[in-house]
A and B are shown apart, each in its own frame.
Chain A
Amino acid sequence: MSTNNEKRKTYYESIIKQGYTRRDFMKFSTYMAAFMGLESSMIGQIAKSLENTPRLPVIWEHYQECTCCSESFIRSNHPIVSDIILDKISLDYTLTLMAASGHQAEAAKQETMKKYKGEYILCVEGSVPMGDDGNYCCIAGKSAKESFLEAAEGAKAIIAWGSCASNGCVQAAKPNPTEATPIHKIVKNKPIIRVPGCPPIGEVMAGIIVHVVAFGRLPKLDRLGRPKAFYGKRVHDSCYRRPYYDAGLFAESFDDQNAKNGYCLYKVGCKGPMTYNSCGTIKWNNGVSYPIQSGHGCIGCSEEDFWDNGPFYERTTKVPGFSEEGIADDIGKVAAGVLAGGIAVHAVAANISKRKELMNRIKRGKSNEKNIDS
C-alpha cells in the first residue's frame, strides 16, 4: 500500500525503488506493448511514459463476484504487473488484497476519493444488485449500489472487470433474483471499459490497466466498450483447431477417435464461433493452454448471457421465451408438418367446395376440344 501523503512518484521511480533493474523494467514494457498489440516502436513510448507519469491512484471494488478476476490478474505473466503497478504503487483500496482492514481501510479509500477526485481509476469486479434497494450485497455497512455510486462519482474512468461487471454473469441468469446489474447500466456519464470473461485473461487485464495508467487514456474500444486489441476477434478465428473446422472434421463426442485426433469441438457445443476473446492467441497460465487446447469447448464466458444461451455441450438454437424443449429446428419441423397437413386438407376441401365451378370448366374445355377445327 502506498500512503497518500508521499509525493507521487513516477512508475519508473517506484519500480526501481522496489529493487527491479532497468532491464526488468524494459522487459516489462516490451511485454506490455506485445499484450496491447502495439508495434515494437511503441515499446519506447511505454517506457518513457512510465518514466514520466506520476502514478494514478486505483480503487478496486468488489461486489457480487468470486474474485476470479483478481486471481487471474495476480497471475499475469510479468511480476511487475501485480507486484508493482497495483499492489505497491497504485492500488489504494482493494478489500481482498490490502493489508489494512476495517475502518482504516475505508478511511484510506475515502481519502483517495477526496484527494484525487476526478483522477483516480475505479476498477469494479462484480455486478451490483439493484433489487430490494441493493441489500443483497453490503460492504462496510453500505450497499454495493451506494458504495459504487459514491466511488464512481469522482472516478476518471471505470474498468469493469470480468463478466460480472460487464454483463452480470451467472448471478444475472434468469430469473436474476437479486437484479444483478452490470455497471454500464448504472453509470452512464463516465468512460467505461468492459473487460468480459469469467475471468478475463490476466495479461489482457494487465495490458488494459497499463494502457490506462501509462498513457492516461482509454484503449480503443469497440461498440460494446471492449478493448479492440483483445476482443476484436472470435476465439474461433484464432483457434489452432480452425483448420479442422474448415475441413469439416469434427469430434462427435468427447471420447471418440476424432476428439483424440484433436478435431474441432464445434459439434460438442464449442461456443468459440460466437465468442470474442483472446484465448486463442494469449492463452492462459502464462501461455500454457486454453480450454479448447485442453479438449473442452469454449463456453463463451465473455459473451453476454452465455449461461442462458443453451447447453454448453450441444449445438442448438433455443427459441427465446420457450422452455428447454423449445429448440428452433424441432418447432420448425412441427410447424412445417402441421402446415403440410393443413395444405392437404385445404386442397381436398377446395375441390369439394368448388366442384361446380370446376366441373363446368372441365366440361367447357372438353367440348372445345371436340370442336377443334384445324
Chain B
Amino acid sequence: MKTKNFKRVMVWELPVRFFHWINVLAIIILTLTGFLIANPPALVSSAEATNLHSFGIVRFIHFTAAYIFFFNMILRIYWSFVGNQFASWKAFWPFSKKMWNNFWHVVKIDVLLLNEEKRDVKNISIGHNSVATISYITMFFIAIIQVCTGFALYADMSSWWLPKLFSWVVPLFGGDFMVRTIHHIAMWAFILFSLVHIYLVFYHDWLEGRGEVSSMFGGYKFVRDDRIKNSVEVSEEDLED
C-alpha cells in the first residue's frame, strides 16, 4: 500500500487570508447588528434617554463594520491584480471552457456525489473550484448591492463625500422603503451562502484530505507531487520544514 506524496503549496497569500477573516468578522457583526436594527429587542430600563445610547451604539457598530467591510473589499479587489494565480481576477473569469468543464465535474462529483471510474488528478482544483468561483462572483455582486443600498441609506446622515457617492440609489428605487427592503433581503444571501460555504470546506477537507480547512489559516494546501514540475532543491538545514 503506497501513500501519495504531497507538496506544500502557498495558495492563499496573507492579504487573501486577512481579507477572508476580516470579511467573516464584518459579515457576522453586520448581520447581528442588522437584525437588531430591523427589530430591536425590548429594553428593560428605567434610565432616562439622556443616559442611554444603546441603540445608537448598535447602529455605530453596524456603520463601522460596514466601512471595514467596504475597505476590505477594496483591498481584495486590489489584490486580485497583484496577487498570485489563485487570487487573481483571472481565476474568477467565468467565460472559459476550462471553467465550465470543471463546473460540471464538480456538480457531478461533489454535488450529486457520483463516483468516477478513473480519476484525473487535474480535476481537483488547487485554488477555488469553478462552482465556488461562481458563488464568490455572485456574492461579490450581492456585496456591491449591500454597499450601494447601505451607503445610500446612510448618506443623509453623513457629511462625508464617500457615502454621498451612493445617494443616487434612493431615487433609483423611489425611496428608502424599497432600498431598505433590498438591503434586508440581500443580507439573507450572506447567511445562506455561509451555511453552504462552511459545509463544503469541511466536506472537501474530509474527502480530499489536503488541508482545505487549515489553508485559510496558514495559506498552504497539499498538492500531489506529480503535479509540480521542478521541485525546489532543499538544503539540509531546511529539511525540518
Contact = CB atoms under 8 A, between A and B. Distances in A.
Contact of A305 (B39, B54, B113, B174): B174
B128 interface: no
Contacts of B174: 167, 224, 303-305
B180 interface: yes
Given A237-B156, A267-B39, A317-B38, A305 B177 contact: yes
Given A248-B54, A249-B45, A361-B209, A237 B157 contact: yes
B1 A364 contact: yes
A84 interface: no
A363 B56 contact: no
A47 B50 CA distance: 43
Interface string A242-275: 0111111110100000000000001100010111
B3 interface: yes
B218 interface: no
Contacts of A332: 185, 188, 191-192
Given A335-B192, A354-B115, A274 B42 contact: no
Contact of A274 (B3, B50, B171, B180): B180
B177 A368 contact: no
A247 B49 contact: yes
Contacts of A300: 177
A320 to B, nearest CB: 7
Contact of B53 (A167, A222, A247): A247
Contact of B175 (A303, A331, A367): A303
Interface string A335-374: 1100110010011011001101110010111011000000
Interface residues of B, number: 48
Interface stretch (B135-143, B195-203, B227-235): B195-203
Contact of A317 (B157, B168, B176, B184): B184
A72 interface: no
Contact of A363 (B1, B113, B181, B207): B1
B40 A248 contact: yes
Interface string A311-337: 000010111100000001101100110
Contacts of A343: 195-196, 199
B159 to A, nearest CB: 13
Contact of B181 (A246, A273, A317, A347): A317
Interface residues on A, range: 35 or more
B113 A353 contact: yes
A309 interface: yes
Contact of B49 (A243, A335, A347): A243
A73 interface: no
Nearest to A309: B177
B152 to A, nearest CB: 11
A336 B194 CA distance: 10
B177 A306 contact: yes
Contact of A336 (B114, B170, B195, B209): B195
Contacts of B176: 234, 273-276, 303
B52 interface: yes
Contacts of A274: 175-177, 180
Nearest to B114: A353
Given A248-B52, A354-B115, A347 B177 contact: no
Nearest to A310: B177
B113 A250 contact: no
Contact of B39 (A234, A246, A309, A315): A315
A248 B43 contact: yes
B170 to A, nearest CB: 8
A248 to B, nearest CB: 4
B192 A339 contact: yes
Contacts of A340: 195
B40 to A, nearest CB: 6
A247 B55 contact: yes
A223 interface: yes
Interface in A63-84: none
B167 interface: yes
28 contacts: A223-B170, A224-B174, A232-B156, A237-B157, A246-B53, A247-B51, A248-B40, A249-B43, A274-B177, A300-B177, A303-B176, A305-B174, A309-B178, A309-B181, A317-B38, A317-B185, A318-B181, A319-B185, A328-B184, A329-B38, A336-B195, A346-B203, A347-B203, A350-B203, A350-B207, A361-B209, A364-B1, A368-B3
Closest 4 CB pairs of A and B: A274-B176, A247-B52, A248-B55, A248-B54
Given A223-B168, A223-B170, A248-B45, 5 more contacts: A224-B171, A247-B51, A303-B177, A336-B195, A346-B199
Interface of B: 1-3, 38-40, 42-43, 45, 47, 49-56, 58-59, 113-115, 156-157, 167-168, 170-171, 174-178, 180-181, 184-185, 188, 191-192, 195-196, 199, 203, 206-207, 209
